[in-house]
Amino acid sequence: MIRKHIASALCSIALLGACTSTTAPGTIGITRRQFLIIPASTVEKIALTQYAEQNSKAKSEGILIESGPEYERLKKIGSRLISQTKAFRGDTQQWKWQLTLIDEPVLNGSCAPGGKITFYTGIIRQLHLSDAEIAAIMGHEIAHALREHGREKVSEAMGQQFVIAAAAASSKTPEQTAAIMGQAANLLLTLPNSRDKETEADRIGLELMARAGYDPAAAINVWRKMSAATQGKNPPQFLSTHPSGANRIADLTSLQAMVRPLYDAATKP
């Protein structure tokens, strides 16, 4: 009986998947269809609230950098990348882009829905990033916003909960079925798609940086630095939401010939 419910629920997952694509394919050729049931405006409002709270907290702690050489450096790189986002979607030129730099020893950056970019001084200083390497990371994070991966994750979570609830309601042993379904949905939906999203962000980011005049080979180098900095701290790829360092480096290497003409034709910084 449990197998019957699992099979039925997995079919529901397949039927729920895929409605649209938020971006044009670009030269890199991103064509995956996306499952989106949450309005973009809803996700952007949530992101804007979180972004404002983050900045307010950083300011109160005296770690919000709003001017100076590091901030201006990021602002210049961001401006070049943002100008190239039209290759993937035309509406981004009307987005209210913002940049936040936080003085914390954190190896991280992000771009929330609607174009809210956050960088930490830790990733710039600890990895000794060049402008092109910053462009690789920032392009990757901007790509998440272009593809609306946050909105997609919320939509997937809602779809997952729908499947689990349906299976539990029809089973004689709802708790047991729900537990199994939770594991199945996590492995078959959440984890693989999360790795897909990270790979998409790598590839779109690579094209963005090339179009903006930053050497795409720097993307390979920055992930080598990241892999070295986090060595021994990452889980196995099968249970990770990110591709392994070796796999993402191999993927970025294989795409160099595709984006090199974009870089050669671009106006350099």
- Contact in structure between 30 and 149 (CB atoms under 8 Å): no
* pLDDT tens figures, 198-231: 999 999 999 999 999 999 999 999 989 988 887 7
CA distance 75 to 21: 29
Q: State residue 12 phi and psi, 5-degree precision.
A: -65, -40
Nearest by Cα to 215 from 252, 264, 166: 264
Task: Say which of 44, 133, 141, 207 is annotated catalytic.
Answer: 141
* pLDDT tens figures, 160-175: 666 555 555 555 555 6
* pTM value surpassing 0.85: no
- The DSSP output letter for 117 is E
* pLDDT tens figures, 74-119: 999 999 999 999 999 999 999 999 999 999 999 999 999 999 999 9
Verify whether residue 141 is a known catalytic residue.
yes
DSSP element (H, E) containing 119: strand 116-120
The neighbouring-strand residues paired with 98 are 116
Angle between helices 191-211 and 131-146 (to 10 degrees): 130
Percentage above 70 pLDDT, the chain: 76
